[in-house]
Amino acid sequence: MALQDRVATALAEVADPAGGGDVMASGRVSGLVVKPDGAVGLVLAVDGLDRAAAERLQAATEVAVNRVAGPKAARIILTADRGSVAADARPAQSTIPGIRKLIAVASGKGGVGKSTVSVNLAVALARQGYAVGLLDADIYGPSVPTLLGIEGRAALEGNRLQPALAHGLKALSMGMMTDPGKAIIWRGPMASSALVQMVEQCDWGVLDVLVIDMPPGTGDVQLTMAQKLKPDGAVVVSTPQDLALIDARRAVAMFGEVGVKVLGLIENMSGYACPECGAVSHPFGQGGAEAEAAAIGAPFLGRVPLDMGIRSDSDAGQPGRGVAAEAFLPIALRLARETGL
Ligand code: ADP
């Protein structure tokens, strides 16, 4: 089958969000051409769709074209009648072109499950149909490649880093920049400028939201990142331990300093359900994060139990299953609502 026909077949699997079958049958796609260099051009009419739906449709169309024509083959021109929402000015953009919202996931210290939370929130949002990216900015111990089962290094096309595609996300990690086992030693300003550059030079395409797994702690690197990227909101992860809560308080204060809205606190490793007898114990205390959230005026977003399945799925690169799927969905929905996704 000719490439043009194969692309048309792939597009016939993309549903029209307004109903009426697929985007070929409903007439949203027109002017499909394959250029001599292999690029695939098409016009996508987004009339009647709100911005989020239009962007999701654009992303789905791009994915369908690239799947058969090769990465980056799609050249999509969006059109809409005057008066349609998508023809208006672009939606409130984040600091990165093409990305609507940035959500930072932070913690006052390492080991509280910040990366586990970032990955599972990103997966939960992607399952809601958002185009989601995940940046693992943890320079001290990038764990996102393991959590998502990504192997190898990030490819460079032109001067743009290519994110890996995994579990419905576009992901980029510091762990994809170096050889495994090699420590990167970056200090202060070097680390923060490299991290900001990584976000800006990555080929994210069009994203509804980029979840940023911040480096743990509240030092200069974190402060500069927050200042330069200006996330639309920040989530602070804490265990119920007092010590971690003191650190969480610092993280909340840091975002306050640079004018980033704290969306709320997530209490991770909250209670332990014994896999043998089902009894729930509280090795790190109980309810600490909720009380702390109230004390500092940050919303409490929810708790995630300490669960053997979360632990083993993390090691196996299989996020978003079992207890994780249940615990993170309501939190992800709330974040989507509060950031106006
Ligand atoms: P951080 O990013 O804060 O350093 P990680 O997300 O890497 O923390 O988590 C640290 C360890 O704790 C990992 O081994 C992870 O699998 C485990 N972990 C995190 N959250 C949970 C949870 N809710 N239940 C069980 N294990 C968890």
- 192 CB within 6 A, ligand 1: no
Q: What is the DSSP letter of 13?
A: T
Residue 182 pLDDT greater than 80, yes or no: no
Instruction: Place 85 in a pLDDT band, splitting at 50, 70 and 90.
Output: very low
Question: Which letter does DSSP use for residue 182 in this model?
Answer: P
| Range with the poorest average pLDDT among 85-99, 235-249, 311-325 | 85-99
Residue of minimum CA distance from atom 12 in ligand 1: 113
Cα 263 to ligand 1 centre (Å): 21
For position 91, what pLDDT does the model report? Answer: 43
pLDDT, tens digit, for every residue of 33-52?
888 888 888 888 888 888 78
| Closest C-alpha to ligand 1, atom 17 | 311
Neighbours of 117 (CB within 10 A): 25
Q: Is residue 83 pLDDT above 50, yes or no?
A: no
pLDDT given at position 36:
82
Query: Picking from 75-89, 137-151, 216-230, 263-277, which range would have the lowest pLDDT averaged per residue?
Result: 75-89
DSSP-based three-state secondary structure for 107: coil
pLDDT of residue 88: 35
Mutate to test the pocket of ligand 1, among 214, 236, 311 (most ligand atoms within 8 A of CB): 311
Q: Point out the ligand 1 atom lying closest to the alpha carbon of residue 314.
A: 16
Handedness of CA 169, 182, 117, 335 (dihedral sign): negative
Distance separating alpha carbons of residues 276 and 115, to the nearest angstrom: 27
Task: Write the residue with the smallest CA distance to atom 8 of ligand 1.
Answer: 113
Stretch among 33-47, 60-74, 98-112, 301-315 having the lowest mean pLDDT: 33-47
CA gap 338, 340 in Å, rounded:
5
Please tell me if the CB atom of residue 270 comes closer than 6 angstroms to any atom of ligand 1. Answer: no
In whole angstroms, what is the distance from residue 322 CA to residue 223 CA? 35
* Residues 290-299: tens digit of each pLDDT: 888 888 778 9
Model confidence over 279-316: pLDDT tens digits?
A: 668 876 677 778 888 887 789 999 999 999 999 999 99
pLDDT at 336 > cutoff 80: yes
* Residue of the CA atom closest to atom 5 of ligand 1: 113
Banded model confidence at residue 84, pLDDT cuts 50, 70, 90 = very low
Ligand 1: distance of its center to the CA of 279 in Å?
21
Angstrom distance (rounded) from CA 139 to CA 149: 18
- What is 99-339's CATH number? 3.40.50.300
Q: How far is the CA of 320 from the centre of ligand 1 (A)?
A: 14
283 lines ligand 1 (CB under 6 A): no
Segment 18-45 mean pLDDT = 86
pLDDT of residue 18: 87
Ligand 1 pocket check for 239: Cβ under 6 Å: no
Per residue in 126-174, pLDDT tens? Answer: 999 999 999 999 877 789 999 999 998 888 888 788 999 999 999 999 8
Q: Given pLDDT bands bounded at 50, 70 and 90, which one contains residue 181?
A: low
Would the CB of 319 count as within 6 Å of ligand 1? no
Q: CA–CA distance from 70 to each of 6, 62, 64, 65, 278 (Å)?
A: 12, 11, 10, 8, 49
- Top CATH class, 3-88: alpha beta
Pick the atom of ligand 1 nearest to 117's CA: 6
Residue closest via CA to ligand 1's atom 24 equals 306
- Alpha helices, DSSP H only, in the chain? 3-11, 51-69, 114-127, 144-148, 188-200, 220-229, 242-257, 288-296, 308-315, 322-339
Supply the pLDDT for residue 166. 96
For residue 110, the CA-to-ligand 1 centroid distance in Å is 10
Instruction: Ligand 1, residue 109: give the atom nearest the CA.
Output: 3
Question: Which of the four pLDDT bands, split at 50, 70 and 90, describes residue 93?
Answer: low
Rg (CA), the chain: 21
The identity of residue 52, as a single letter, is A
Given 3-state DSSP classes, what are the helix, strand and coil percentages for the chain, each rounded to the nearest 5?
Answer: 35, 25, 40
Instruction: Determine the distance separating the centroid of ligand 1 and the alpha carbon of 111, expressed in angstroms.
Output: 6
- Nearest CA owner, ligand 1 atom 27: 311
- Domains of the chain by residue range: 3-88, 99-339
pLDDT > 70 in the chain, percent:
90
Give helix 114-127 / helix 308-315 axis angle, nearest 10°.
80
Q: Which helix (H) or strand (E) covers residue 268, if one does?
A: strand 262-273
37-to-5, 7, 70, 126 alpha-carbon distances in Å: 17, 15, 12, 32
The mean pLDDT value of the chain amounts to: 86
| 169 or 190, higher pLDDT | 169
